[in-house]
């Protein structure tokens, strides 16, 4: 819950995007991982993200990508 609150506090409500901390400038890197983090933390308003590829699950399935697990 605290991590979700922090990520949302880093969001720029005027221009969009997510920064590394509240009040800083947003950037694509933190926006990508902020959105992925929210999805992995259970935000149902976002598409489910695959933690290996950091991509939406529907894109991975559409591309036919397979996750390989190391033993």
pLDDT tens for each residue of 16-32: 999 999 999 999 999 99
Residue pLDDT, tens place only, 5-61: 999 999 999 999 999 999 999 999 999 999 999 999 999 999 999 998 899 999 999
Measured in degrees and rounded to the nearest 5, phi and psi for residue 11 equal -75, 140
* Predicted local distance difference test score (pLDDT) of residue 3: 96
Q: Report DSSP state, residue 11.
A: B
Q: What is the pTM of this model?
A: 0.84
Instruction: Give the separation between CA 23 and CA 66, rounded to whole angstroms.
Output: 39
Instruction: Provide the pLDDT for residue 66.
Output: 86
């Amino acid at each position: 819950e605290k991590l979700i609150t922090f990520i949302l506090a880093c969001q720029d409500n005027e221009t969009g995007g997510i920064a590394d901390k509240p009040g800083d400038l947003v950037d694509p890197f933190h926006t990508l991982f902020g959105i992925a983090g929210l999805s992995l933390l259970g935000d149902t308003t976002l598409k489910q993200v695959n933690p290996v590829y950091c991509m939406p699950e529907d894109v991975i399935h559409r591309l036919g990508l397979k996750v390989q697990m190391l033993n």
